[in-house]
């Protein structure tokens, strides 16, 4: 990352995701909906692949971000999760705070870059982050 990138908040270049990485196979499982999301959203995306699903930090975590959950061949945003499970603003705020903390907990996890739907995205193949995000969403929606 160059000086101007740091000064103006540019994105960091990560090494390419290896083809033989387990995260690559997990991304293939959700390829269609993930590509649609990447084409629809202009903000940076950081993808946490999981088994037959993915969690996507949209924006600039851990402070200014949204979350998308790719599952069952669809994408659920935070608004859909809140509406579907009748979450209050307080519950949504708590969930966002916990997701930001989970992201920070994984700050040392390796990150890679790949292209999804014609867009460069960051991939965080972290079992710990995947587990923590999954637990936060499960707690909030059940």
Residue 10 has pLDDT above 90, yes or no: no
**pLDDT 10s digits, 63-92:** 899 999 999 999 998 888 889 889 999 999
The answer to whether position 5 is within a domain reads no
Judged by average pLDDT, the poorest of 2-11, 33-42, 127-136 is 2-11
- The Cα–Cα gap between 56 and 66 comes to 8
Residue 38 has pLDDT above 90, yes or no: yes
The answer to whether position 7 is within a domain reads no
**Per-residue confidence (pLDDT) for residue 11, from 0 to 100:** 53
Integer CA distances (angstroms), 50 to 12, 47, 87, 127, 130, in order: 23, 9, 24, 8, 6
The answer to whether position 91 is within a domain reads yes
Residue 110 has pLDDT above 80, yes or no: yes
The answer to whether position 2 is within a domain reads no
- The Cα–Cα gap between 97 and 118 comes to 30
Residue among 24, 26, 17, 76 at smallest CA distance from 51: 26
The answer to whether position 125 is within a domain reads yes
The answer to whether position 106 is within a domain reads yes
**Per-residue confidence (pLDDT) for residue 12, from 0 to 100:** 74
Burial class (CB in 10 A: 0-12, 13-18, 19+), 75: buried
Residue 6 has pLDDT above 50, yes or no: no
Name the one residue in this structure whose structure tokens are 């945003």.
77
The answer to whether position 3 is within a domain reads no
Please state, rounded to an integer, the average pLDDT across all residues of the chain: 89
Residue 106 has pLDDT above 90, yes or no: yes
Residue 125 — pLDDT band, cuts 50, 70, 90? Answer: very high
Count the domains in the chain: 1
Question: Residue 74 is part of which domain span?
Answer: 13-141
The answer to whether position 1 is within a domain reads no
The pTM assigned to this predicted structure is: 0.88
Percent of the chain, pLDDT > 90? 77
């Amino acid at each position: 990352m160059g000086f101007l990138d740091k000064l103006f908040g540019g994105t960091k270049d990560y090494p390419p995701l290896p083809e033989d990485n387990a995260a690559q196979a997990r991304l293939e499982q959700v390829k269609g909906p993930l590509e649609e999301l990447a084409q629809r959203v202009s903000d940076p995306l950081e993808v946490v692949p999981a088994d037959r699903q993915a969690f996507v930090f949209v924006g600039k975590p851990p402070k200014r971000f949204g979350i998308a959950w790719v599952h069952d061949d669809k994408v659920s945003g935070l608004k859909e999760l809140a509406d579907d499970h009748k979450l209050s603003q307080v519950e949504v705020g708590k969930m966002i705070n916990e997701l930001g903390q989970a992201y920070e907990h994984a700050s040392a996890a390796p990150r890679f870059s790949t292209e999804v739907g014609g867009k460069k995205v960051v991939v965080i193949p972290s079992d710990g982050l995947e587990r923590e995000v999954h637990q936060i969403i499960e707690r909030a929606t059940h």
